[in-house]
A and B are shown apart, each in its own frame.
Chain A
Amino acid sequence: MSALEWLDAGEAARLIAARHLSPVEYTRALLERIQRHDGELDSFIELRPEAALDAARAAEDAVMSGAALGPLHGVPYALKDIIDVAGWPTTAHSRLLDGAVARRDSEVAARLGAAGGILLGKLATHEFALGGPSFDLPWPPARNPWDRTRSPGGSSSGSGAAVAAGFVPVALGSDTGGSVRNPASMNGLFGMKATYGRVSRRGVVPLSFSLDHVGPLTRSVADNALALSVIAGHDPADPGSSAEPVPGFLPEQPADLAGVRIGVIRHFHLRDLAADAEMTAAFEAGVDLLATLGAEIREIEVRPLAEYAACNRVILLCEACAVHEKWMKERPGDYGHLLLERLLPGLAFSGVDYVQATRTRARLAGEFNSLFDDIDAVVAINNMEPAFPIEDPEVAEYHYSRHARTPFNITGNPALAVPTGFSGLGLPLSMQVVTRLFDEALAYRIAAAHEAAAGWTARHPDLGGTGT
């Protein structure tokens, strides 16, 4: 058995069901690890050890009584603190929501609970999933477990830090312009932004209604597919939810990639923006590995990144300002400096700008999806650089838009962050695998083959100290 902190969720669930692992011991071990190390990472906003241990005891009782068990039975998880859980505060890492307690579970929290998961706590986020990293909020920003002086990415900052640190095997984040895939990139994780509408957003604090996605961050492909299989599915209470059937997401065994046609987008990081040399080299190594595994590789070109980014920014900020307009006028002093700074341009766009952006979006999405007449998947770089120093606001602002993620929020396609190795400083590197609408299974198949061959995910950050 792996050390408990690095146990996969799927493996843990199998061990628990076979009575080889106690949910109570597992939960207690992770709680102790969090209590020992999170003071230096600040990934959790709220931790409820007693509630988690009570749930773990109930999970153990269910195992011993022979009850039917869900796919995450007895497995700890945590949620970005924009996701409602009945009886818990949802802060969105903002003083604006101070004292707000959720009356009912979000759909994703309800599904994780029904699958037997044990909620340990709520995780740090950039304020309202947009403004950060910030040092002027009621809670400090999460830090990167690979190097505590660096950002863990965002906006699902605590989700990335907590999974990479071995605090939980699964955490949920949200992705409106890349906020699952960014912390996945900076923490050496798999992070899935599934097809728009695949996962319900009911009970999740909105940033931008037509771009928001909820998705899992995990240390393995199998866990990511498992988590998505639990949270995916139609929800009539989410107007954006799709009724598309939910298939099995992961093949039984990592297969080779014979016959898979993969289009490689290089101009995102060679022409539109310039990625650093290590990120580029790791990307090329990743592409070479996919070819070695049997994929047919061909270079493709799409619109420049700036066109997707501009379209994303207009839609995102207009919709975000619709949510925040009243607070911005009545309580501007309760916002962190950075969130207000990022929201302000949204008030300068016109109604015509917004409608044009939504028309442009439809056109960009149509163009992009027509590529899949000739290929099965796309790979593109994720961030242009690895994790950056967190304390310097100018450095943080420089890196804020240096990525290639917004195209897939615009098009709505599945986009999975996949680790591609480490920089000379030991910082994680990443690429994205993108597939047809609702074909998350192929993204996982490609990522699983790469994961098995590359072996990057066997490496973990050293938090210091001994034991769990």
Chain B
Amino acid sequence: MTEPRGASGLPEPIEAFVGPDRAIKAVDAARQTIETMDRDNAWYQEPAHVFRPGAGS
């Protein structure tokens, strides 16, 4: 189940704290970043770091 989201799309408790203006500004900033990133990856392109069994705890 997903956590409750505010009108901006940010998690509700955080949006309640920062207010709708800051929340919308943050969502707009994220959108602009995503629009700038080249995500035209080939279907077989692996992530930069993949799961390595045994790594970490």
Binding site for B on A (CB under 8 A): 210, 239, 303, 306-307, 309-311, 313-314, 317, 328-330, 332-333, 340-341, 344-349, 353, 355-363, 365
* Complex-state Cα separation, A355 to B39, whole angstroms: 10
User: Residue among B8, B33, B41 with the most chain A CB within 10 A?
Assistant: B33
Query: Can you list 28 contacts pairing A with B, beta carbon distance less than 8 Å?
Result: A210-B48, A239-B55, A310-B38, A311-B38, A314-B33, A314-B34, A329-B13, A332-B13, A332-B14, A332-B18, A344-B10, A345-B26, A345-B30, A347-B26, A348-B9, A348-B29, A348-B30, A349-B30, A353-B39, A358-B49, A359-B41, A359-B46, A359-B48, A360-B37, A360-B38, A361-B48, A362-B46, A363-B45
Contact (Cβ within 8 A) B10 A347:
yes
Contact (Cβ within 8 A) A359 B29:
no
Contact (Cβ within 8 A) B49 A310:
no
> In the complex, which of the residues B22, B31, B41, B56 contacts A341, with contact meaning CB atoms closer than 8 Å?
B22
Q: How many residues of B contact A (CB 8 A)?
A: 31
Q: Which residues of the partner chain B approach A333 to less than 8 Å between Cβ atoms?
A: 17
Please, which residue of chain B has its CB at the minimum distance from the CB of A330?
B13
Q: Within 8 Å of chain A (Cβ to Cβ): is B27?
A: yes
> In the complex, which of the residues A346, A348, A359 contacts B31, with contact meaning CB atoms closer than 8 Å?
A348
Contact (Cβ within 8 A) B17 A332:
yes
Q: Which residues of the partner chain B approach A313 to less than 8 Å between Cβ atoms?
A: 33
Contact (Cβ within 8 A) A345 B29:
yes
State the Cβ distance, A141 to closest chain B Cβ, in Å: 22
> In the complex, which of the residues B22, B23, B47 contacts A358, with contact meaning CB atoms closer than 8 Å?
B47
* Complex-state Cα separation, A317 to B26, whole angstroms: 12
Please, which residue of chain B has its CB at the minimum distance from the CB of A344?
B26
Q: Which residues of the partner chain A approach B22 to less than 8 Å between Cβ atoms?
A: 341, 344
Contact (Cβ within 8 A) A359 B14:
no
